[in-house]
Structure 1
């Protein structure tokens, strides 16, 4: 029997407080920060050590997340330049000639959103895809709400939850679950696929039904948007429209040829984005390129810190569940000499006193992770999802990676921008529909997908 100390119980109580705070749709930074402080006191660090532990835990979390912050920042920097040049529209416009029917429009918008989101993140992808492809979809008979559904489910759902290229979500979840990013990605792939196929197919069938019944009509003032928003593009934009997709295509080829995964693949993508930013700035701004590239880098890092600023304190607390992170911040005091870390200890203790099985832990993982998404930020709950996956996986001697992937799906599909109205505003605004209407439209497909994915996970854990 594992000996549970005061530190273990403080961790459990703070986790419950964090869950309650999320259910109330309030920010969880204060509970997490106070939790680190109280854990410091429980670990016999004293007032001074506990206070210093807060900052040191931020440093540990920041070191873990710094690569992801950097990759997203440089990707956004390049995206901003492409937008200013007008190259983003040129890259997508050739596809618009292939769209002839509402069915084609739904799947084209969705697939383009998926690809762009994998490489450039869903937030900038929403504006790009919506601005360029929405008028085309409306012209061929796809209602604006149908385009919004496609943008949400493919981008903020499938792309963000699988995150196969940038691997930001995977890194956060894997780090607190104690598994490799590549293992999480590989073992989670069947779950990502099930969630995507079930959810998007259900949404498509419901959309087709309502169009056929006349419930949805194309009566939107965005019909002429493509004419209103046409603007003169920079001559460099045409160069960018060719070399940027080519560069990232070569990156994908290099990943396969040289077996690049995880941090190596992320580094290749990030380095390519920086080089593209330099080349295009020099071509466009010439002698003023030095100043302009500074502004683009600055805007990208402002975005990155804005996104991850609230996540670092939350992750800092949940990283304390790992033995190495705990020792770096709190030292060896407060835990038994035989401890494998707070999360591993809790999992072992839970397995010895509670009848845990695969269906039970799959349902609990999905339920808790889904609750963390109620705050409207799919990323804020990833650290908790990974942490409880480690607890439950240890308790049943099952696959922590599969459980972590299941939790990641629950947290992001609920909170990342598919069924929580307050996280749907960007997609709803670009498509000129109500966030509440979009949330209602997505609700049944997403819930059906979550249920089916949980059932499949029971057999894979």
Structure 2
């Protein structure tokens, strides 16, 4: 019999889905859900308040490295733009006028980086190139964001053939050999990747025709200097010109400034190249990779600020940091609340937030459904996919893999069918769900890098996501 807390938890999930479908931000619903579930589960309003805060606190702690990294990347990008160093870094790419080629080029670059670094540090690293590219090229930022979601996490992490973290976790959870998971996931990953990337390309071309300016894609919040309104931009340019006029003649020397920009561009490119080599050969993953990228970004920001003008570097550096962190916090503040609510349904949240032992709400639901539905290969496949989608709603497709793998093993044994294809189906479903249609998941990170709105990215991602799930389901049912 489901507990009152469990029933309320899924009722609030339904409310969140309804709010998103009506283009409303479900932050207040998630916050109320934290309080309601905590109060009903503990039987005390005071304890429920503590549960709500613990959920937000644990989520904030998990997301803090990403928040800081995105803030530093945005701050560094602002510095590169203000010093006009970005023109040197992206000059070869700016010669490419074909938006279609840029879509595939950025996707291929992110796919290669994600295979070795994992999606989050990879997209953050590529963000140093993407932001100036969006500002100065004609590619649609929303169309590019869709492509980054597809290539960055969808294709790269669904198979995870280099690091092998996802198939390893799936195999352990399902009690099967990892080699079987790797081999049987290959057609699903390749097929779903081709379908999603082609649909994403079509989405990009449609967005390209709309030609929406970047500053209109965000919720009227101040972004980097290049995204402010015309009046603010003119005022800033006038202020910058006055500051320039006040500088000594040596500072206004065009050749001197050009030489500094060249030195900074070469230094930044060299540092990031060394960082990638370090990550690959040092086999640094996850938080370790994030720390390396963040440290290199901070170093480039410091050097660039001092090299541009050491006399004003004290104030300028602080302004860059404030701009970057303000942007990052604006993006991730609502995500912390929403992810905190979904954390309650996971095994980790059930133990660390609600302070109970046992399976989380999501796993309990999957187990209950498996005891009600008649089991055959069709119902088992659908149940595994449903479990994977529910698990990924926490904002981490990776966190859903143990749940999907465990359910695949249990259903496979009960129905007398192999658990391997079911586990692979769950893996692909969970990763693609987080990559495409969870606004507080990977699309949130992509939105921060491309300075677009995560909800708009998710709406454009729905069709590629559905296509990948349909292909994966059909392939699994008719080939195993």
- 1:79 corresponds to which of 45, 61, 77: 77
Q: Distance in 2 between matches of 1:119 and 1:196?
A: 18
TM-score by length of 2: 0.64
Partner deviation per Cα, 1:25-61 (whole Å, 9 max, x = no partner)? 2221222122221222222341222123222221121
> What residue is the counterpart of 1:158 in the other structure?
151
Residues 119-130 of structure 1 aligned to structure 2 (within 5 Å)? 119-120=123-124, 127-130=131-134
Matched, 1:266 2:290: yes
Any conservation in 2 of the 1:110–1:154 contact (CA below 8 Å)? Answer: yes
RMSD across aligned C-alpha pairs, in angstroms? 5.0
Q: Cα distance, 1:115 vs. partner?
A: 8.6
Q: Distance in 1 between matches of 2:21 and 2:101?
A: 39
Q: Distance in 2 between matches of 1:30 and 1:206?
A: 31
Partner deviation per Cα, 1:146-175 (whole Å, 9 max, x = no partner)? x678634433543465688xxxxxxxx9xx
Alignment length (residue pairs): 390
Matched, 1:331 2:355: yes
Any conservation in 2 of the 1:351–1:396 contact (CA below 8 Å)? Answer: no
TM-score by length of 1: 0.66
Any conservation in 1 of the 2:388–2:401 contact (CA below 8 Å)? Answer: no
> What residue is the counterpart of 1:354 in the other structure?
373
SS in 2 for 1:330: coil
Q: Distance in 2 between matches of 1:241 and 1:316?
A: 40
SS in 1 for 2:309: helix
- 2:362 corresponds to which of 343, 347, 360: 343
Q: Distance in 1 between matches of 2:23 and 2:343?
A: 23
Against the structure 1 CA distance between its residues 18 and 197, is the aligned structure 2 distance closer, same or farther, given a 3 Å change threshold?
same
- 2:407 corresponds to which of 377, 392, 395: 395
Q: Distance in 2 between matches of 1:362 and 1:189?
A: 19
Ranges in structure 2 where 5+ consecutive residues have no aligned partner: 114-119, 158-165, 212-240, 242-253, 410-421
Q: Cα distance, 1:196 vs. partner?
A: 4.4
Against the structure 1 CA distance between its residues 267 and 327, is the aligned structure 2 distance closer, same or farther, given a 3 Å change threshold?
same
Q: Cα distance, 1:245 vs. partner?
A: 2.0
Q: Cα distance, 1:355 vs. partner?
A: 3.9
Against the structure 1 CA distance between its residues 30 and 358, is the aligned structure 2 distance closer, same or farther, given a 3 Å change threshold?
same
Q: Distance in 2 between matches of 1:59 and 1:261?
A: 24
Q: Cα distance, 1:301 vs. partner?
A: 0.9
> What residue is the counterpart of 1:452 in the other structure?
471
Q: Distance in 1 between matches of 2:265 and 2:432?
A: 37
SS in 2 for 1:16: helix
Q: Cα distance, 1:354 vs. partner?
A: 2.2
Ranges in structure 1 where 5+ consecutive residues have no aligned partner: 135-143, 165-172, 211-215, 220-230, 373-380, 429-434
Mean alpha-carbon deviation: is it higher for 117-126 or for 44-53? 117-126
Q: Cα distance, 1:101 vs. partner?
A: 7.4
> What residue is the counterpart of 2:306 in the other structure?
282
Q: Cα distance, 1:456 vs. partner?
A: 5.5
Any conservation in 2 of the 1:385–1:411 contact (CA below 8 Å)? Answer: no
Q: Distance in 2 between matches of 1:266 and 1:161?
A: 19
Any conservation in 1 of the 2:191–2:471 contact (CA below 8 Å)? Answer: yes
